[in-house]
């Protein structure tokens, strides 16, 4: 299975904004799972750690996790995040596929990397809210 790293805004001026950023990432992570891929969503792994360690610790760990993935999915609004910008540059330096929607990943990976046995498998269920955002 392909593993897709979910990259987007995390920080915010208050707990409400941070939680909304996490929820945005979670929403896309669920779509990734529904598409038949594994979602690695670091937002959910550190959601209660604000201020526990310097931000550089989290970014270094995130980049190591990203290194082990097959692609990166950019959450809308990612360009407003210095961390997500760094993750995108890192993925580009690794020649990793960079996607801006789950549908783009599905099209790319199913078109180019589908194993022969997949031709006999049942197609995945429609992605939640993917059609509405197109």
**Domain count of the fold of the chain:** 1
The pLDDT assigned to 48 comes to 84
For 63-79, the pLDDT digits (tens) are 999 999 999 999 999 99
Range of the domain at 47: 3-133
Per cent of the chain over pLDDT 90 is 69
Task: Report pLDDT digits (tens) over 6-49.
Answer: 999 999 999 999 999 999 999 999 999 999 999 999 999 888 88
Q: Judge contact between 96 and 69, C-beta under 8 A.
A: yes
The CATH number linked to 120 is: 3.40.50.10400
Q: How far apart are CA 10 and CA 95, in angstroms?
A: 24
Q: Tokens at residue 75, please?
A: 């959450």
Q: Checking DSSP bridges between strand 3-7 and strand 38-40, what pairing results, if any?
A: parallel
The span from the CA of 109 to the CA of 114, in Å, is 7
């Amino acid at each position: 299975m392909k593993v897709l790293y979910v990259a987007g805004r995390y920080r915010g001026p208050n707990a409400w904004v941070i939680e909304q950023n996490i929820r945005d990432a979670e929403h896309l992570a669920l779509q990734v799972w529904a598409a038949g891929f594994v979602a690695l969503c670091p937002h959910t792994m550190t959601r209660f750690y604000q201020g526990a360690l310097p931000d550089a610790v989290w970014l270094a760990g995130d980049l190591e996790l990203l290194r082990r993935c097959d692609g990166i999915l950019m959450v809308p609004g990612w360009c407003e995040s210095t961390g997500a910008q760094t993750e995108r540059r890192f993925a580009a330096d690794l020649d990793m596929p960079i996607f801006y929607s789950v549908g783009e990943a599905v099209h790319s990976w199913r078109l180019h990397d589908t194993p022969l046995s997949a031709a006999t498998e049942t197609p995945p269920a429609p992605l939640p809210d993917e059609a509405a955002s197109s």
